[in-house]
Amino acid sequence: MGLLEKNKPPVGLKWRSNTFFIIATVAIGLFTDLFLYGLIVPILPFMLQERVDVPADKVQSYVSTLLAAYAGASVVFSLPAGWVADRTNARQTPFLTGLAALLAATIMLAFGQSIAVLVVARVLQGISAAVVWTVGLAMVLDTVGPENLGKVIGSIFSFISVGELAAPVLGGVLYKKTGYAGVFGVGAGILGLDFVMRLLVVEKKTAARYGADNASANPREHGSRTEDGEEDTADEETALLGKKEEDSFKIPEGQNRAVRALPVLYCLSNPRVAVALLLSFVQAATLAMFDATIPTEAESLLGFSSPEAGLLFIALDLPYLLLGPVAGWAVDKYGTKPAAVLGFGYLVPVLVLLRLPTAGVVDGTKGTVILWCAMLALNGIGLAVIGSPSIVEASDVVQRYDKANQGFFGENGPYAQLYAFQSLTFSAGLALGPVLSGTLRDSIGYGNMNAVFAAIAGVTAILSWMFIGGKTATVKWVAKKHNLNPN
């Protein structure tokens, strides 16, 4: 911790270790990553033609290469980032390292004059994404604990979704109006804010060494979640049930070298964790689908330019932004299964309804825009609901393994390793979503493309019902709410 002295508390310790400031720092870090990624995407074709003299018929293949370089680097470096973060005394150091990679990438993109430089820049962006997602989510868990993780993650995802969805439109507008200077000027400003906040933040475990109030040194010191999302009680019955449940999370001795080196690998054999990661993948792919297809469909259907397409993103973003914290609170209150099942199940019909604007059910541009915005707003509600179940569910299960196997996961636990897999699956979804949606839109049309994504959401809802929260979680929840005996 570069800003801290061994014996003297850092200046501003109270507000720098404040829960809200830590969460805001992580949120800005994640926002910066997704915002800069999306900001550059619409100007890549122009950069390739104007700076590198790539022939027009080769631009699409080079753009795909640059996008793949980002996604590939993020996938490859997620696990190493998690391994390192769980073995360092402070998560701030790798957090700042990720920002350094992003700064270098932005500079190279701003001034690069060759394909090689642009590829390296995109790789550095991918490395930064791996670090910021892995370390950032671990810092959130360290700060708020599993019992409050849902509403915090819901709030963060609703905030960063604005950057992920609107950045491509803003990038196109800035390039059209101001050229490269405006695009990279905005990027530099957000990077500057991100750097200052990451430099100032003091983690709870560091603050605890100075006796700060409400500072927990380890996520293990937080309470556990029950299957219906409420905190455990300490009566005799729950103690006996807790002991039986703890035994079910015991890890047998004699694990292979891979599991000993990366202990969270054992947790992935639990179907609850595996399906939770699937939820993260589908969530990201769905977000990327909107990102990739709204501008192109708006152009072909309505003749919209980038600024006009931005109005459609507002309709999608606003419900997501407003309802994300509420949906996260519901996950903390009622558990992950209801949110996952209802959220992905709800997306099935509203995704299908996105064919209405292209089906000519209303006349005129104005009517089509109003109908499309209404359908996108309905989808924004679904995106808000599915924002937090994945991370909360995976964190809950891994915490149970951690508590049942003292010492197996090391001093800091397996949480950064877990979020490395979350980053990996989310990045894979962001990479596959545009490819799949673009291919489907070109081959079967926009309406049928959304139907395919609706089917994926439906399958995800079924798997959530079967595995998320445990097989008996919903039975217990319903019985408790209606004062019934689940046995």
Question: What's the CATH code of the domain at 76?
Answer: 1.20.1250.20
- Report the range of poorest mean pLDDT among 220-229, 378-387, 419-428, 437-446: 220-229
Query: How far, CA to CA in Å, does 134 sit from each of 92, 413, 416, 418, 419?
Result: 12, 14, 6, 8, 5
Largest CA distance in the chain: 74
pLDDT tens, residue by residue, 295-331 = 778 878 888 776 677 678 788 888 888 888 888 888 8
- Across residues 127-156, what is the average pLDDT? 82
Contact between 31 and 159 (Cβ < 8 Å): yes
Contact between 118 and 47 (Cβ < 8 Å): yes
Report how many domains make up the chain.
Answer: 1
Contact between 117 and 66 (Cβ < 8 Å): no
The reported pLDDT for the residue numbered 483 is 55
Contact between 170 and 310 (Cβ < 8 Å): yes
Residue 219 has pLDDT above 80, yes or no: no
> Is residue 8, in this structure, part of any structural domain at all?
no
Residue type for position 225 = R
> Is residue 329, in this structure, part of any structural domain at all?
yes
pLDDT tens, residue by residue, 15-50 = 888 888 989 999 998 888 888 877 887 777 778 888
The reported pLDDT for the residue numbered 90 is 66
The reported pLDDT for the residue numbered 482 is 53
More confident call, 425 vs 210: 425
Q: Angle between the 415-444 and 389-404 helix axes, to the nearest 10 degrees?
A: 150
The reported pLDDT for the residue numbered 477 is 47
Q: How far apart are CA 289 and CA 354, in angstroms?
A: 12
> Is residue 208, in this structure, part of any structural domain at all?
yes
pLDDT category of residue 3 using cuts at 50, 70 and 90: very low
Q: What 3 state SS string does 455-476 have?
A: HHHHHHHHHHHHHCCCCCHHHH
pLDDT tens, residue by residue, 175-186 = 878 888 888 888
pLDDT tens, residue by residue, 326-349 = 888 888 888 899 999 999 999 999
Residue 481 has pLDDT above 70, yes or no: no
The reported pLDDT for the residue numbered 7 is 61
pLDDT category of residue 287 using cuts at 50, 70 and 90: confident
Q: How far apart are CA 92 and CA 12, in angstroms?
A: 17
Q: What is the SS3 assignment for 231?
A: strand
The reported pLDDT for the residue numbered 240 is 47
> Is residue 343, in this structure, part of any structural domain at all?
yes
Structural domain of 35: 13-216+257-481
- What values do phi and psi take at 225, rounded to 5? -100, 145
> Is residue 428, in this structure, part of any structural domain at all?
yes
Query: How far, CA to CA in Å, does 460 sit from each of 21, 143, 229, 327, 340?
Result: 34, 30, 21, 18, 8
Contact between 429 and 280 (Cβ < 8 Å): yes
More confident call, 155 vs 21: 21
The reported pLDDT for the residue numbered 355 is 92
- What values do phi and psi take at 262, rounded to 5? -130, 80
Residue 237 has pLDDT above 80, yes or no: no
Residue 432 has pLDDT above 70, yes or no: yes
The reported pLDDT for the residue numbered 223 is 53
pLDDT category of residue 424 using cuts at 50, 70 and 90: confident
- What values do phi and psi take at 27, rounded to 5? -60, -45
More confident call, 168 vs 404: 404
Greatest mean pLDDT range, 57-71, 294-308, 415-429: 415-429
Which residues fall within 8 angstroms of residue 126, CB to CB, at 6 or more apart?
69, 70, 71, 72, 73, 74, 75, 76, 77, 427
> Is residue 3, in this structure, part of any structural domain at all?
no
Structure token digits, residue 12: 């501003």
Greatest mean pLDDT range, 156-160, 195-199, 403-407: 195-199
The reported pLDDT for the residue numbered 381 is 93
Query: How far, CA to CA in Å, does 425 sit from each of 191, 289, 342, 358, 432?
Result: 25, 16, 22, 32, 10
Contact between 227 and 272 (Cβ < 8 Å): no
The reported pLDDT for the residue numbered 234 is 44
The sign of the torsion formed by the CA atoms of 3, 149, 88, 85 equals negative
> Is residue 338, in this structure, part of any structural domain at all?
yes
> Is residue 245, in this structure, part of any structural domain at all?
no
Is 366 exposed, middle or buried, given 0-12, 13-18 or 19+ CB atoms closer than 10 A? exposed
